[in-house]
Amino acid sequence: MSGVTRFGVSLEEPLLQQFDRLIHRKGYSNRSEALRDLIRESLVREQWDLGTAETVGTLTLVYNHEVRELAFNRSPTNKIRKAAIAGGMKTLLQDGRIKVLNGTTTAEEIVKVAQVEGIVTD
């Protein structure tokens, strides 16, 4: 990853143990991934509360029974995502690439949306 800055985080041991259990339950492969998602979520929530950013929404109709069951059971997001992709769903970024190639939108617009979704960073 280009443009990544490493920094240290100090936590009390019980808090770190709770965080590690959360990481395991959500299926993250490392602490950095989980921390990035928490930071992004917090920043997006603040932007939403302050009304300082564009809002992007989707309407998702799920016909894949496995994905429906995972979502209904409140499975971790990454587990639902993997099952959906395995079932043929395109990711937002994949769909964006197709739209850029078809001339429907620009790469800049896709990057803007992907940054909001935490798919790519600056």
Task: Select 12-53's CATH number: 1.10.1220, 1.10.3470, 1.10.1740, 3.30.1370.
Answer: 1.10.1220
One-letter amino acid of 87 = G
| pLDDT on residue 31 | 94
| pLDDT on residue 39 | 92
Task: Output the six-digit token pair for 121.
Answer: 């960073």
| pLDDT on residue 119 | 60
| pLDDT on residue 9 | 92
Give which of 55, 59, 43 is closest to 113, Cα–Cα. 55
| pLDDT on residue 34 | 92
Identify how many contiguous H helices and E strands the chain contains and give both numbers. Answer: 6, 0
Residue 55, C-beta contacts closer than 8 angstroms, at least 6 positions apart = 48
| pLDDT on residue 95 | 85
The Cα–Cα gap between 17 and 41 comes to: 21
| pLDDT on residue 97 | 86
80-93 residue pLDDT tens: 989 988 988 888 78
Per the CB < 8 A criterion, the answer to whether 58 and 7 are in contact is no
The Cα–Cα gap between 11 and 35 comes to: 13
pLDDT under 70: residue ranges of the chain: 1-2, 55-62, 115-122
So where are the chain's domains? 12-53
| pLDDT on residue 14 | 95
| pLDDT on residue 68 | 86
